[in-house]
Chains A and B, each alone.
Chain A
Amino acid sequence: MVSGPGEGHYAKPGLATEEESFDFVVVGSGPAGMAAASEAMRRGLSTLLLDEQPAAGGQIYRGIEAAADKPAHFARLGADYQHGRALATRLRDSGAVLRYGAFVWEITKDRRLTVSREGRSTLVHAGQILLATGALERPVPIPGWTLPGVMTAGAAQILLKTAGQVPAGRAVLAGSGPLLYLLAAQLIEAGAPPVILVETQPADNWMRALPHLPRALRNPALLKKGLGLLKTIRGAGVSRFAGATDLEALAGEDGRVRALSFMRRGRRVEVECDLLLLHEGVIPNMNLALALGCASRWSDTRLAFEPETDEWFQSSVEGVAIAGDGAGIEGAQAAEQQGRIAALGAAMRLGRITRAEAEAEAVPPREALAGWRGARPFLEALYRPADGQRIPSRADVIVCRCEEVTVADIRDAVATGALGPNQAKAFTRCGMGPCQGRMCGPTVTALIGQIRGVPPEEVGYYRLRPPLKPIPLAEIAAMAVASGGERQDAIRDRLPGGG
């Protein structure tokens, strides 16, 4: 139906499904993707970079080039953010083909990507692929998390970076992880301090984190930065409540969030707010990798499934690498180094450089990577989310936001014989909505594991289906018309379907 590489191009104007070939196709223009594309161009690989967003940067450097044009705004966002500008400039100068507003909705093992852009889908054949799809925030399924006015901390940060928007009323930050401190400090700098910061990481996380402290101190910049943020927060008079449990977002009469309620030292506390920003760390955004069938394993320290990769970040699927936070959360600086290493690996597999050259070139980024990794075990242990924030216990809590499937529904599905998320999905529609399980997958796996008393790797994860995001039927039909005309040979029009 669709000719492969070497079988010629379609050239029917207006109708044809465009097909292109590149040595190296990078999905995602965060630090890993930007660094990889630049590195690949240096090695002479024809390189295409695709990103769904309108500009380079990924989420961490979101809107970096536009922000750099606004000095006061840029200064406020801090040095870590500003670092992304050099990466974006290098990418722009690299000569790589950059396509934004481009969403990869299908990827096959023969390294064919189907890309939707401006209402049209086209095919790209890749010699090598790098998935640099970054991270997404872990869902925080507390009671009331679907109320208008409850968002992620990352969402507020994106509003600040891209639109210069800050909370207009009383904002409460709640959860666990360094991003909460960073956001609080950024909001303070912007003159919109949060009311309070409610921290949910268990107090005994400290005990488990301490053994990792010496290694973290070998690269003290990171920890110093954290202490600086805490100082800014303290200096602004924003109070921090530690050890909060049993969070609940309460609704006002207008149906929006009215207050955050939580338990602390045996007493229930209620804090009025107009905006509740939740955060329990980030997890790899690996829908594309999973849909492709890349092998993954459960990380018990990072509480997430992660793809299995080799020393060049190649996944279990030949010719497909995964680097950056999408391969396991290690932060922006580590992602950048991983991107470079992955590009060298791709060049090596394509025969553009020898293994010896690749090994030699990979020494500096590998050393840098090791340095950035030093503090991770400490941070992972210190900000490990509490089970209560990750695995909802109240029966009425919504697990799947799209299909409004509750904890009770999942419990019922397990009681009726669902052993894992796929049978639970079949029984309840959990994960069948437009977000394709991104918002409920981690919760469903954790919840079923808890109910059954088995570890997450035994429960497993959703089998992911294309398209990775909804696309208009017209768009997929147009591809069929262009590539096969009226051919109906595979369609079952003789007899109706299975019944």
Chain B
Amino acid sequence: MFRRLPDAAAGPLVPVTIDGQGVMVPEGESAAAAALAAGMVPTRTTPVSGAPRAPWCMMGVCFECLMEIDGEPNMQGCMVPVRAGMVIRRQEGARRLPAMPGTSHEAAGASLGAASGAPAAAPANPQG
């Protein structure tokens, strides 16, 4: 849906995985911007009806750009800058609890930490 101008990249190119495809993306661009340029549209399906959605506001307000970033579900893609090695996936419907079968992300160690009184290692973007 979008293309990059040759003279205005956010940063040097770094490798990331978007929707299963390895691509080179300017570092520092938002994950949502990277997804749009890579054609990962829709970027999510809703937890209510499964309807396809894509970013609306790009300024952190609308929560339409929710995506799975490095295994963490429901991240606000427009608020997360791309880093080398990042894995960006579509958010399909409602998230799962980490312990549930079929969950792609294993967070057992981190969340058990919270149980013993220490806070869990928090996800990279707490606003997601």
Contact = CB atoms under 8 A, between A and B. Distances in A.
**Direct contact between A and B judged by beta carbons closer than 8 A:** yes
Interface of A: 14-15, 52-54, 59, 63, 66-67, 70, 72-73, 103, 116-121, 136-137, 146-152, 154-155, 158-160, 162-169, 190-192, 255-256, 274-275, 285, 401-404, 433-435, 438-439, 469-472, 474-475, 477-478, 481, 486
B59 A162 contact: no
A152 B56 contact: yes
A214 B20 CA distance: 59
Interface in B93-116: 111, 114
Interface in B32-80: 33, 36-37, 41-43, 46, 48-49, 51-64, 66, 74, 79
Contacts of A403: 48
Contacts, number: 179
A123 to B, nearest CB: 15
A274 B36 CA distance: 12
A74 to B, nearest CB: 9
Nearest to A66: B10
Nearest to A478: B119
B1 A274 contact: yes
A155 to B, nearest CB: 4
23 contacts: A53-B79, A54-B81, A63-B10, A119-B124, A149-B1, A155-B57, A159-B36, A162-B33, A163-B26, A163-B37, A164-B8, A165-B4, A165-B5, A165-B36, A435-B62, A435-B63, A439-B56, A469-B60, A469-B127, A470-B127, A472-B123, A474-B120, A475-B119
Interface residues of B, number: 53
A4 B64 CA distance: 38
A15 B114 CA distance: 11
Contact of A72 (B4, B8, B64, B122): B8
Nearest to B121: A119
Nearest to B11: A66
Contacts of B12: none
Contact of B120 (A154, A470, A472): A472
Given A116-B126, A475-B122, A167 B59 contact: no
A273 to B, nearest CB: 11
Contact of B122 (A52, A137, A168, A474): A474
A121 B119 CA distance: 11
Given A148-B42, A155-B56, A166 B5 contact: yes
A70 B1 contact: no
Contact of A73 (B8, B36, B66, B126): B8
A155 B66 CA distance: 15
A162 B9 CA distance: 8
A414 B85 CA distance: 50
A481 B122 contact: no
A256 B46 CA distance: 15
Nearest to B9: A164
Given A404-B49, A435-B61, A474-B120, A165 B127 contact: no
A434 B4 contact: no
Given A148-B54, A477-B119, 11 more contacts: A54-B28, A73-B7, A119-B123, A148-B43, A152-B57, A162-B10, A165-B2, A166-B3, A438-B61, A438-B62, A474-B119
Contacts of A147: 52
B55 to A, nearest CB: 6
Contact of B119 (A54, A162, A439, A481): A481
Contact of A149 (B33, B41, B81): B41
A152 B43 CA distance: 16
Contact of A401 (B4, B36, B62, B74): B62
B126 to A, nearest CB: 5
